[in-house]
């Protein structure tokens, strides 16, 4: 029998080439995909509420027959209106859809329908507007659509719920018996988890919602468990490597601390001690540094660089964009100048160097003449090799994949690695999710920082915001105005920034120097615009979200974010972090028309707090982990069903069990653990490359 992830959905009866295409749109190609294609909600159709008992305000499922239907045009809004009256023998309900003329094809008098939606009172009658509907006149030989708890799937146009249910039902019938369980029996017994076959059956066609819940727990447990095992294994492999033990004296530490024009914050001192401790050990450091925007991560990163140099070795710092790399390079030069480390050679490596100067740069690095090497992913190029690299910093880790991190590290012999991120991760989660990294937190802002006030405006009030910005800019301040970019419609959004830029020059900000940067500009061009903004030649910078990370312009104190509802919370917080970096107070204007409760909740969260950790926690709750952490990161996007924000109890269980199991059977070599080991390997290949090797 072939593995289920190699069998196409086309092997299921009723799935031909056209259905296969639709399935592809839904991300379903194989039998395995389909088994794990979960309903987005359920409807309890065991007992329908009679229409005579339905009340305004209820959101529910009802059923009945179409008594009358027809289309008209609203004389007021000019919209196409399709109306229907439904009767179940005990009461009557009216249904309306707007601008969906094709509906007429589906319904005739006498058609039995199921409707799901919110009931309201309109002109003294009960009405549902644009409900979800199903027609149930065709035969239902499998009894999948009525008289039970019914799954409702996320669908695409051309696919009906009825068809999907039938296909999934057949799929379960044919393939479920083949499905191996990767969780050992004793683990399932210990935590009272149903086996995988029963779980998937109960998730698709639950007998009771309690069964569905325990099935869902089981699937989440499995995901967390595999993830935790991979994390622990990776950690074990690091602890087994031979690294470089740096010697770090007290005089070095105090020389370092005395080098800056400001006292280090308590948090900076603490984290530097943590890093120094790691660097002195003879196995490699793997440390994650969280620090909110502006908490002073560069200073901390520099400590390890200089410690490596003091030990006769080299350090590398990799940033996700050229702007950031240059900025790090500049601030390091500034920090070093005039101090005890003034003659440490610092190198900048970005793409687009001329062949000759690139050769020269490579030579200096290879010869060990360059001590601190700052750069973009250009550092990963094969031409770059170090004489002796013992310390690596990776800034803004969520922009890099695990692979790229490993690639940079491989340029040294198990160097110490510090990964820095400005995306704060709730404390309750970081230990569990980043079990392969030690975690340090910069939880204290430098003193003498201004405060940032955040206000939210509807787009109709945007001109008010522009007036306020104009006034402040005329008083000497600088402002950012940011527009979102959505990948699919990049051009459309680009136009928004471009059009507004032109409008600003002519109207709102005429007489003021305004600049524009966006992602599709040539690098040299956008660098120039940004540096003119830094030099205060440009007073207002209109930008797409390329600003998101790291730009440091202390004089800029105003941040306007248009279509703020399109940004994630963490992104908004990052953007806002661009202002209030000097001593001055800053202000942040969010212009948004949120259309959902989530949208409103997010804006309120950002308005009412400037604590990155609190905001992160909110974000995680509102959006779930996948989107919050973005792609690539830590295999977290592998978590499809489990949500660490809402299922922390299951996560804890899975973590404990993973620890115990890997303690007793580190290589998962026990025959009962083989399916588990194979599943972990398959799902987290980068994590477990060392197991495959060994």
Q: Which residues bind Mg ion (CB under 5 A)?
A: 550
293 contributes a contact to ligand ADP by CB under 6 A: yes
Residue of 362, 371, 246 lying closest to 302 (CA atoms): 371
Least distance to ligand ADP from the beta carbon of 419, Å? 13
Q: Which is nearer to ligand ADP, 212 or 610 (CB)?
A: 610
Start-to-end C-alpha separation, the chain: 29
Q: Which of 516, 574, 580 is nearest to 548 (CA)?
A: 574
Q: Is 450 in the site for ligand ADP (CB under 6 A)?
A: no
| Cβ-based nearer residue to ligand ADP, 263 or 476 | 263
Q: Which does 268 bind (CB under 5 to 8 A by kind): ligand ADP, Mg ion, none?
A: ligand ADP
- How distant is the alpha carbon of residue 605 from its chain centre? 17
Taking the least distance from each CB to Mg ion, the nearer of 64 and 550 is 550
Partner from Mg ion, ligand ADP, none binding residue 293, C-beta < 5-8 Å depending on class = ligand ADP
Of 293 and 378, nearer to ligand ADP (C-beta) is 293
Query: From the CB of 321, what's the least distance to Mg ion, in Å?
Result: 11
Tell which one of 117, 184, 206, 296 touches ligand ADP (CB under 6 A): 296
| Smaller CB separation from ligand ADP, 218 or 399 | 399
Our measurement of the distance from residue 427's CA atom to the centroid of its chain's CA atoms, rounded to an integer in Å, reads 17
By CB under 6 A, the residues from 362 to 401 that bind ligand ADP are none
CB of 320 or CB of 550, closer to Mg ion: 550
Residue 264 binding partner per list ligand ADP, Mg ion, none, with a CB distance cut-off of 5 to 8 Å that depends on partner kind: ligand ADP
For ligand ADP, what does the binding mask look like between residues 95 and 134, x meaning CB under 6 A? ----------------------------------------
**Among 117, 291, 586, 612, which residue sits at the site for ligand ADP (rule: CB under 6 A)?**
291
299 binds, among ligand ADP, Mg ion, none (CB under 5 to 8 A by kind): ligand ADP
Using Cβ positions, the residue closest to Mg ion within the complex turns out to be: 550
Q: Characterize the bridge pairing of strands 92-98 and 59-73.
A: unpaired
Where are any strands of DSSP class E within 139-228?
A: 149-152
Instruction: Kindly list the distances between the CA atom of residue 18 and the CA atoms of 21, 23, 357, 618, 631, in Å, as whole numbers in the listed order.
Output: 5, 9, 56, 41, 30
As measured in angstroms, the least distance from the Cβ of 46 to ligand ADP is 55
Please identify, using beta-carbon distances, which residue of 264 and 691 lies nearer to ligand ADP: 264
- Helix, strand or coil, per DSSP, at residue 391: strand
CB nearer to Mg ion: pick between 39 and 550: 550
Nearer to ligand ADP, 438 or 552 (CB): 552
3-class DSSP state of 648:
helix
> Residues with Cβ < 8 Å from 535, sequence gap 6 or more?
none
Beta bridge partners of 82: 71, 97
Binding residue (CB under 6 A) for ligand ADP from 19, 188, 233, 297: 297
Q: Which stretch of DSSP H or E encloses residue 657?
A: helix 648-664
Angle at CA 599, nearest 5°, toward 595 and 602? 160
Coil, helix or strand at residue 296: coil
* Contact partner, 199, from ligand ADP, Mg ion, none, Cβ < 5-8 Å per class: none
DSSP H helical ranges for 205-321: 209-239, 250-257, 266-280, 297-310
Q: Which of residues 574-603 bind ligand ADP (CB under 6 A)?
A: 581
Please identify which residue in 552, 562, 565, 657 interacts with ligand ADP, judged by CB under 6 A: 552
**105 versus 447: smaller Cβ distance to ligand ADP:** 447
Q: Which is nearer to ligand ADP, 335 or 466 (CB)?
A: 335
Options 151, 294, 435, 644; binder of ligand ADP; rule CB under 6 A: 294
> Is residue 436 a contact residue for ligand ADP (CB under 6 A)?
no
Q: Any idea what DSSP says for residue 45?
A: -
Show contacts with ligand ADP in window 240-269 (CB under 6 A).
262, 264-265, 268
Residue 89, by phi and psi: left (phi above 0), alpha (psi -120 to 50) or beta? Answer: left
If binding is defined by CB under 6 A, does position 446 make contact with ligand ADP? yes
In the complex with ligand ADP, which residue's Cβ is closer, 297 or 602?
A: 297
Angle of helix 569-576 relative to helix 612-623, nearest 10 degrees, comes to 160
Query: Does residue 295 touch ligand ADP according to CB under 6 A?
Result: yes
**Candidate residues 299, 346, 473, 543; the one interacting with ligand ADP per rule CB under 6 A:** 299
The binder of 294, among Mg ion, ligand ADP, none, by C-beta within 5 to 8 A per type, is ligand ADP
* Residues 93 and 62 sit within 8 Å (Cβ to Cβ): yes
For the CB of residue 581, give the shortest distance to Mg ion in the complex, in Å: 10
Rounded to whole angstroms, the Cα distance separating 574 from 578 reads 7
Q: Provide, rounded to whole angstroms, the least separation between the CB of residue 439 and Mg ion.
A: 18
Question: Please, which contacts does 644-648 make with residues 24 or more away whose CB atoms are closer than 8 Å?
Answer: 644/224, 644/429, 644/432, 644/433, 644/620, 645/426, 645/429, 645/617, 645/620, 645/621, 646/621, 647/217, 647/220, 647/224, 648/428, 648/429, 648/432
Report whether 37 contacts 168 (CB < 8 A).
yes
CB of 297 to Mg ion, least distance (A): 5
Give start and end residues of each alpha helix (H) in 28-115.
Answer: 31-35
Question: At closest approach, how far in Å is the CB of 580 from Mg ion?
Answer: 15
Closer to Mg ion by CB, 94 or 260: give it.
260
Tell me how many residues contact ligand ADP (CB under 6 A): 16
Closest residue to ligand ADP in the complex (CB) = 296
User: Among Mg ion, ligand ADP, none, what binds residue 644 when CB lies within 5 to 8 Å by partner kind?
Assistant: none
Is the CB of residue 86 less than 8 Å from the CB of residue 64?
A: yes
- How does strand 112-122 pair with strand 132-135? antiparallel
Binding-site string for ligand ADP from residue 394 to residue 433, where x marks contact by CB under 6 A and - marks none: ----------------------------x-----------
Residue 263 or 277: the one with the smaller Cβ distance to ligand ADP is: 263
- Closest approach, Cβ 552 to ligand ADP, in A, equals 5
Nearer to ligand ADP, 88 or 477 (CB): 477
Question: Min. distance of Cβ 611 from Mg ion in angstroms?
Answer: 18
Q: Which does 529 bind (CB under 5 to 8 A by kind): ligand ADP, Mg ion, none?
A: none
The C-alpha R_g of the chain, in whole angstroms, comes to 30
* Binding partner of residue 552 among Mg ion, ligand ADP, none, CB cut-off 5 to 8 Å per kind: ligand ADP
In SS3 terms, 478-546 reads as: EEEEEECCCHHHHHHHHHHHHHHHHHHHHCCCCCCCEEEECCCCCHHHHHHHHHHHHCCCCCEEEEEHH
Q: What is the largest CA-CA distance in the chain?
A: 91
Contacts of 78 (CB under 8 A, 6+ apart): none
The residues of the shown chain that bind ligand ADP, judged by CB under 6 A, are 262, 264-265, 268, 291, 293-299, 422, 446, 552, 581
């Amino acid at each position: 029998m072939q593995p289920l992830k190699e069998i196409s959905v086309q092997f299921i009866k009723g799935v031909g080439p056209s259905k296969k295409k639709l399935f592809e749109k839904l991300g379903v190609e194989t039998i395995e995909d389909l088994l794990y294609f979960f309903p987005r909600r359920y409807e309890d159709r065991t007992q329908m509420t009679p229409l005579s008992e339905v009340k305004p305000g209820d959101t529910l499922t009802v059923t009945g027959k179409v008594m009358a239907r027809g289309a008209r045009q609203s004389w007021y809004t000019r919209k196409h209106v399709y109306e229907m009256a439904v009767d179940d023998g005990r009461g009557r309900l009216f249904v309306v859809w707007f601008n969906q003329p094709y509906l007429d094809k589906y319904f005739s008098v006498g058609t039995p329908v199921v409707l799901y939606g919110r009931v309201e009172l309109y002109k003294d009658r009960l009405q549902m507007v644009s409900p979800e509907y199903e027609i149930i006149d065709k035969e239902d030989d499998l009894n999948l659509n009525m008289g039970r708890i019914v799954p409702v799937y996320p669908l695409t146009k051309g696919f009906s719920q009825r068809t999907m249910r039938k296909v999934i039902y057949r799929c379960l019938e044919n393939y479920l018996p083949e499905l191996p369980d990767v969780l050992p029996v004793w683990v399932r017994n210990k935590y009272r988890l149903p086996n995988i076959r029963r779980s998937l059956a109960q998730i698709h066609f639950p007998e009771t919602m309690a069964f569905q819940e325990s099935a869902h727990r089981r699937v989440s447990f499995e995901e967390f468990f595999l993830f935790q095992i991979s994390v622990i294994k990776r950690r074990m492999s690091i602890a087994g490597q031979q690294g470089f033990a740096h010697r770090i004296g007290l005089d070095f530490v105090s020389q370092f601390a005395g080098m800056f024009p400001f006292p280090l914050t308590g948090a900076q001192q603490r984290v530097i001690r943590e890093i120094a401790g790691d660097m002195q050990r003879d196995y490699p450091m793997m440390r994650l540094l969280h620090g909110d925007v502006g908490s002073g991560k560069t200073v901390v990163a520099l400590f390890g660089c200089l410690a490596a140099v003091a030990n006769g070795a080299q350090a590398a710092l990799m940033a996700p964009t050229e702007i950031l790399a240059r900025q790090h390079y500049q601030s390091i030069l500034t920090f070093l100048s005039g101090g005890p480390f003034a003659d440490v050679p610092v190198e900048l490596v970005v793409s687009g160097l001329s062949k000759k100067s690139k050769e020269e740069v490579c030579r200096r690095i290879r010869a060990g003449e360059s001590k601190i090497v700052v750069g973009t992913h250009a550092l990963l190029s094969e031409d770059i090799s170090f004489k002796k690299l013992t310390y690596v910093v990776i800034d803004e880790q969520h922009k890099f994949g695990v692979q790229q991190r490993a690639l940079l590290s491989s340029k040294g012999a198990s160097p110490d690695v510090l990964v820095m991120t400005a995306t704060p991760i709730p404390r309750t989660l970081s230990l569990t999710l980043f079990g392969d990294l030690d975690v340090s937190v910069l939880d204290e802002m430098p003193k003498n920082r201004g405060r940032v006030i955040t206000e939210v405006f509807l787009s109709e009030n945007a001109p008010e915001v522009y007036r306020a910005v104009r006034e402040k800019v005329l008083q000497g301040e600088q402002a950012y105005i940011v527009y979102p970019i959505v990948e699919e419609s990049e051009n459309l959004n680009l136009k928004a920034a471009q059009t507004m830029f032109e409008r600003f020059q002519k109207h709102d900000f005429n007489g003021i120097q305004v600049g524009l940067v966006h992602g599709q500009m040539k690098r040299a061009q956008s660098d120039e615009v940004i540096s003119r903004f830094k030099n205060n030649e440009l007073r207002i910078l209109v930008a797409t979200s390329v600003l998101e990370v790291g730009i440091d312009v202390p004089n800029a104190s105003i941040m306007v974010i248009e279509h703020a509802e399109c940004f994630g919370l963490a992104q908004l917080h990052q953007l806002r972090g661009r202002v209030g970096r000097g001593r001055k107070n800053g202000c942040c204007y969010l212009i948004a028309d949120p259309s959902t409760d989530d949208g409103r909740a997010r804006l309120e969260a950002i308005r009412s707090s400037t604590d990155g950790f609190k905001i992160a926690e909110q974000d995680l709750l509102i959006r779930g982990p996948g989107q919050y952490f973005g792609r690539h990161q830590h295999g977290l996007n592998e978590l499809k069903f489990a949500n660490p924000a809402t299922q922390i109890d299951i996560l804890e269980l899975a973590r404990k069990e993973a620890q115990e199991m890997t303690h007793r059977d580190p290589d998962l070599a026990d025959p009962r653990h083989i399916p588990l080991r194979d599943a972990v390997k398959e799902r987290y290949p980068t994590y477990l490359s060392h197991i495959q090797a060994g």
